Amino acid sequence: MGREALFINRVAILATMHQKDQVIAPILDNELGLKVMVPPGFNTDIFGTFTREIKRPGNQIEAARLKAEKALDITGESVAIASEGSFGPHPSLPYITSNREIVIFIDKEQDIEIIGQELSTATNHNHLMVQNVEQALEFADKVGFPEHGLVVMCEELPKDSNNIIKGIITEEKLVEAVNLVLEKSSTGKAYLETDMRAMYNPTRMTNIAKATYNLVKKINSRCPKCSTPGFDITRIVAGLPCELCHMPTALTKTVVYQCQKCGFTQEKLFPNGKEFAEPAQCMYCNP
Ligand SMILES: [Zn+2]
Ligand SMILES: [Zn+2]
């Protein structure tokens, strides 16, 4: 079955209220022929907010899956897409902030779920407690304002959304918000943070686009046996031999692809194109 037969002109519901369709829709249309539609009035805030007044249900993938399932429920369509971002220390560079974006694709007709992702150190995710407008403007300068939006609130863990001023994209509004919060606050401080919602954060939008391309790559990876999309790596086997002493290292030697429909598996030896590891990576040659 060709790619066209599967997705050309099929409708995919995108669960977003943060204009993620601006980057996701053209990619899926150009690459797969999928027509992305956003259900009007879909409230994704019930699935958690970056500003923490509403907690996210489950982990990043579970939250995205819930959004996609909800979109399918309310529209009665069979294909849905949802994206979810998270910010935190980079898994292998603990002092550097990273942004992980996932884009989930669910096709009820074929009963498949495919997840594209991007892990990037390109993010302006940041926060600061300030005592005056000057400090706020200095922070704003550092985090790419006004192209990137800001949030101002009284405290780091807001109890309700009435005390959060989001989507600030002009200096005038920023000064107004900071003054308002400083006046109201019992501590004389205001808590500023970057607005991480996609439409207020072009850096994040770029990462969402990259995750979408990763999703397309996985959709186009077909099972050699039954041609179901999403033939993906499910297992990584370490043990790439050292070039000098031939002892196994912690580097990847083999990856295993598996079809989620028929279970067919395929091993790929030396997925990174190298048959040996540098002696510098070897615990015997370079302890
Ligand atoms: Zn298969
Ligand atoms: Zn060695």
Considering the domain architecture, whether residues 117 and 61 belong to the same structural domain is answered as yes
Which protein residues have a CB closer than 5 Å to ligand 2 (ion)? 242, 244-245, 282, 284-285
How many domains is the chain built from?
Answer: 3
Token pair belonging to 275: 């048959």
Considering the domain architecture, whether residues 15 and 108 belong to the same structural domain is answered as yes
If you measure from the C-alpha of residue 90 to the centroid of ligand 2, how many angstroms do you get, rounded to a whole number? Answer: 28
If you measure from the C-alpha of residue 267 to the centroid of ligand 1, how many angstroms do you get, rounded to a whole number? Answer: 14
- Asked if residue 103 is part of any domain, the answer here is yes
Ligand nearest to the CA of 277: 2
Q: What is the CATH number of the domain that holds 191?
A: 3.30.1490.20
Ligand nearest to the CA of 262: 1
Would you place residue 138 in the very low, low, confident or very high pLDDT band (cuts 50, 70, 90)?
very high
**Residue 247 pLDDT:** 95
Considering the domain architecture, whether residues 111 and 159 belong to the same structural domain is answered as no
- Say what percent of the chain tops pLDDT 70: 97
**Residue 1 pLDDT:** 47
If you measure from the C-alpha of residue 24 to the centroid of ligand 1, how many angstroms do you get, rounded to a whole number? Answer: 27
Q: State the sign of the Cα–Cα–Cα–Cα dihedral 224, 228, 232, 237.
A: negative
If you measure from the C-alpha of residue 54 to the centroid of ligand 1, how many angstroms do you get, rounded to a whole number? Answer: 40
- Say what percent of the chain tops pLDDT 90: 79
Q: Which residues contact 26 (CB under 8 A, 6 or more apart)?
A: none
- Asked if residue 107 is part of any domain, the answer here is yes
**Residue 4 pLDDT:** 46
Q: What is the mean pLDDT of the chain?
A: 92
- Asked if residue 109 is part of any domain, the answer here is yes
Q: What is the CATH number of the domain that holds 104?
A: 3.40.50.10150
Q: For 206-248, write each residue's pLDDT tens digit.
A: 999 999 999 999 999 999 999 999 999 999 999 999 999 999 9
Mean pLDDT of all residues in 59-84:
94
Ligand nearest to the CA of 245: 2
Residues of the domain holding 168? 127-195
Q: For 237-287, write each residue's pLDDT tens digit.
A: 999 999 999 999 999 999 999 999 999 999 999 999 999 999 999 999 987
Mean pLDDT of all residues in 31-36:
94
- Asked if residue 287 is part of any domain, the answer here is no
**Residue 193 pLDDT:** 96
If you measure from the C-alpha of residue 240 to the centroid of ligand 2, how many angstroms do you get, rounded to a whole number? Answer: 11
Ligand nearest to the CA of 280: 2
The candidate with the shortest Cα–Cα distance to 157, out of 58, 50, 60, is: 50
If you measure from the C-alpha of residue 22 to the centroid of ligand 1, how many angstroms do you get, rounded to a whole number? Answer: 33
Give the strand pairing for 35-37 and 252-258: unpaired
- Asked if residue 50 is part of any domain, the answer here is yes
Query: pTM score > 0.95 for this model?
Result: no
Of 149, 179, 195, the domain-final residue: 195
What HEC string does the chain produce? CCHHHHHCCCEEEECCCCCCHHHHHHHHHHHHCCEEECCCCCCHHHHCCCCCCCCCCCCHHHHHHHHHHHHHHHHCCCEEEEEEEEEEECCCCCCCEEEEEEEEEEECCCCEEEEEEEEECCCCCCEEEECCHHHHHHHHHHCCCCCCCEEEECCCCCCCHHHEEEEECCHHHHHHHHHHHHHHCCCCCEEEEECCCHHHCHHHHHHHHHHHHHHHHHHCCECCCCCCECCEEEEEEECCEECCCCCECCCEEEEEEECCCCCCEEEEECCCCCCCECHHHCCCCCC
Is pLDDT of 112 > 50?
yes
Ligand nearest to the CA of 251: 2
- Asked if residue 227 is part of any domain, the answer here is no
- Asked if residue 191 is part of any domain, the answer here is yes
Ligand nearest to the CA of 246: 2
Considering the domain architecture, whether residues 156 and 203 belong to the same structural domain is answered as no
Considering the domain architecture, whether residues 112 and 149 belong to the same structural domain is answered as no
- Asked if residue 162 is part of any domain, the answer here is yes
Considering the domain architecture, whether residues 172 and 259 belong to the same structural domain is answered as no
**Residue 55 pLDDT:** 80
**Residue 56 pLDDT:** 76
Considering the domain architecture, whether residues 110 and 148 belong to the same structural domain is answered as no
